[in-house]
Chain A
Amino acid sequence: MIAFDFAYFRPNTLKEATEIYKQIALTGKTPVYYGGGTEIISMARTGSVKFDAVIDIKSIPECTTLCVESDRLIIGSAVTLTKIAESGCFPLLGETVSRIADHTIQGKITIGGNIAGTIIYREAALPLMITNSKVKIIRKNRLHDVPFFDVFDGDLHLQKGELIVQFLIDKNYLNLPYCHVKKTKLDKIDYPLLSMAAIKTNNGISAAVSGLGDKPFLLPGKILNETDIPETIRVDKTIAAIQNNIISDLIIASKEYRVFVLKNVLTQMFHNFKGA
């Protein structure tokens, strides 16, 4: 049970959503945009968050679309992880999100919710970080397309009232050779020791990881693509270069163990991309 009262709104348009947000905020109350709501409900139940109103965006067509339009894949921020995985529209993203939480919860978690979450992993962001993706956001009552990294540096940075409406991915990235690895400590359903998404383009390998730091981050592409030196050296150089990003205090595994896992995962990634 959630121990405090709040109002529920389910707008049918973006205009309705932003207007109700503004109206509530003007009265000094706290509205939150609500997608799948799994984290909001969990945290509200334990008293970790409090708000006065939820604005459920799942009836807004722009937020629930999943389609390829001209040269890009458009994923509404309220599209569930299950829908993304089942659609097969972007295999790397589908594989990545189908390892978040468990299968039933994936039918409730939305891509926007995972990326906006407070849990440090935000694995749905990994494929977006390596594909020059953009987001369509509502900012000052207008829709803007901005690079994903303008609002996300591992944490999501939006001003109050701003909302991610869609994620936009260039069609050319959708079917490139890719590699996704998620390692957990014991059970398949668990937070990751390490989750990595990587693709290989004509320009080389791009990879992003989650679980090593206090937020997802890119691995140094320059080192990964130093093709004139052996892969084993590239692995060691990559690990040396990201030392400052790796946090040591994770209860599920020591820093040393997670680095050991990364070393194996990178070796596997180079092997997978051979000939690709």
Chain B
Amino acid sequence: MLAFSEKSIVKLNVNGENVTVMINPSYTLLHVLREELGLTGTKPGCENGDCGACTVLVDGWPIKSCLMLAAEAIGHQIVTVEGLKNAPIQKSFVENWGFQCGYCTSGFLMVCHALKNIHPDANDFVIEQWLQSNLCRCTGYGEIKNAVKAVLENRI
């Protein structure tokens, strides 16, 4: 049984690397990624699971890191926007004007990247269902959807 009750050193797998980090059981994954590991591409927004700015991938699925304890991530594979490393979806966002202020972008990228991997044949309904998890206050939804479709249709 995994158990710890105070600040402890644990191993996390982040962006393909095993990292050693000191965490408290009450720390969220968002906090640990940004404040302990310096991966500031993952953005804090509402910190209540509403906006999606903090989305990362856990075992390939998008997860809002503000609603996950870092302790839960032990034994799982975490990918942040820093781990995408010029994935097609990033290029597609650039070519399709998929961002304006950019604050929501890393969260959207993670959702779209996972969508491409999990449902490469996603139709409009599925695309919208996935994108509705994230908010863009610049309201760039149309361009973001275009960016996803370009990747799904292998136009990037």
Contact = CB atoms under 8 A, between A and B. Distances in A.
Given A7-B4, A8-B25, A37 B69 contact: yes
Contacts of A12: 1
Q: Chain B, interface size: which category?
A: 20 to 34
Interface string B1-41: 11111100000000000000000111110010000000000
B98 interface: no
Interface in A199-235: none
B1 A7 contact: no
Interface residues of A, number: 35
A41 B69 contact: yes
Contacts of B129: 98, 103
Contact of A8 (B48, B52, B55, B69): B69
Contacts of B69: 8, 37, 41, 54
B111 interface: yes
A8 B47 contact: no
Contact of A7 (B5, B31, B67, B72): B5
13 contacts: A5-B26, A7-B3, A7-B25, A8-B2, A10-B71, A37-B72, A38-B67, A41-B66, A42-B67, A103-B132, A104-B52, A104-B111, A105-B64
Interface of A: 1-2, 4-12, 16, 20, 37-38, 41-42, 44-45, 53-54, 56, 58-59, 82, 98, 101-105, 107-108, 188-189
